[in-house]
A = this chain, B = another copy of it.
Amino acid sequence: MNQKQTIELMKQRVFEANLSLKKMGLIKLTWGNVSEINRDLGVVVIKPSGVPYDVMTPEQMVVTDLEGNLVEKKGWKPSSDLPTHLVLYQKFEAIGGVVHTHSTNAVMWAQAGRDIPVYGTTHADTFYGSVPCTRMLTESEITSCYEQETGKVIVESFVKDGLDYQAIPAVIVQGHGIFSWGDTPEKAVENSVILEEVAKMALGTEQLKKQVEPVPNYLLDKHYYRKHGKKAYYGQN
């Protein structure tokens, strides 16, 4: 397969991943975007900015290089969140797809400025620890290169607490929304679906009990490693 064919397939996948976000109820209007990187070719494909989902086509997906320069000159502007995606691709070297949403329950946590604790196995099956909430960006960060600084503050959240971005493939951006990632755009979408569900469950849990405790670490270990790593035994592989 030549480079052009590879990019066409990326555009198709990114298009479908964007639609699946909408179909699964994580997106209102045009809020949200999915991208994919091909590190060999040095290109990223991302949703165009502000195009309604019901008229979007695979051809409109925007192709850029790793600095965000347009590779194809077709006139569509990339999602304004592209610089955040690029920082994540640069710092989280094993990921292949990134998702951004304002999904309802996850945003509640973002607006409350809180990490989502591991209250159960639904969380532990995918996120090996609390899903962190970033600090609020400073005024100078926001007024300079806002979207790029958003990426940096996400990375900072992982670095300062020694978190593994592969074991916790999502983040809450304070006052804003979420980013998730994975090996592929499809996996990144799946992680955003799970985060939204986990956010909803955790909210209800706190309503049922004051001072909920996270699950014991041995339960977290069990569930996470039942699905991930060398000894995983969930699924058909």
The interface of chain A, by Cβ under 8 A from chain B, is: 28-29, 31, 48-51, 76-77, 80, 102, 104-105, 107-114, 119-122, 125, 136-137, 139, 142-143, 146, 175-177, 190, 193-194, 197, 200-209, 212, 215-216, 218-219, 222, 226, 233-236
Q: Are B233 and A80 in contact (CB under 8 A)?
A: yes
Is the Cβ of B120 less than 8 Å from the Cβ of A209?
no
Copies of this protein in the assembly total 4
- CB–CB A136/B205 < 8 A: no
B236 near A48 (CB under 8 angstroms)? yes
Q: Are B212 and A111 in contact (CB under 8 A)?
A: yes
Contact check: which of B77, B104, B114, B222 meets A197 at CB < 8 Å? Answer: B104
Which of these, B51, B121, B142, contacts A222 with CB under 8 Å?
Answer: B142
How many angstroms between the C-alpha atoms of A200 and B202 in the bound complex?
14
Contact A235 B49 (CB under 8 A): yes
Q: How far does the Cβ of A179 sit from chain B's closest Cβ, in whole Å?
A: 13
- Nearest residue, chain B, Cβ from A75: B236
Q: Which of A102, A122, A202 has the most CB of B within 10 A?
A: A122
20 extra interchain contacts, Cβ-Cβ under 8 A, other than A112-B212, A114-B208, A143-B218? A29-B190, A48-B236, A49-B235, A76-B236, A80-B226, A80-B234, A102-B121, A107-B120, A107-B201, A108-B208, A110-B120, A111-B201, A112-B205, A112-B208, A119-B175, A120-B176, A120-B177, A136-B216, A206-B207, A207-B207
What are 26 sample pairs from A and B whose C-beta atoms fall under 8 A apart? Answer: A28-B193, A29-B190, A31-B125, A48-B236, A49-B235, A49-B236, A50-B234, A77-B235, A80-B233, A80-B234, A102-B121, A107-B122, A107-B201, A107-B205, A108-B201, A108-B208, A109-B208, A111-B212, A114-B208, A119-B175, A121-B177, A136-B215, A137-B219, A139-B218, A143-B218, A143-B222
Query: Which residues of the other chain, B, contact A193 by a CB distance below 8 angstroms?
Result: 28-29
In whole Å, how far is A46's beta carbon from the nearest beta carbon of chain B? 14
Contact partner of A139 (CB less than 8 A), chosen from B143, B190, B216, is B216
Q: Given A205-B108, A205-B111, A175–B121 Cβ distance below 8 Å?
A: yes
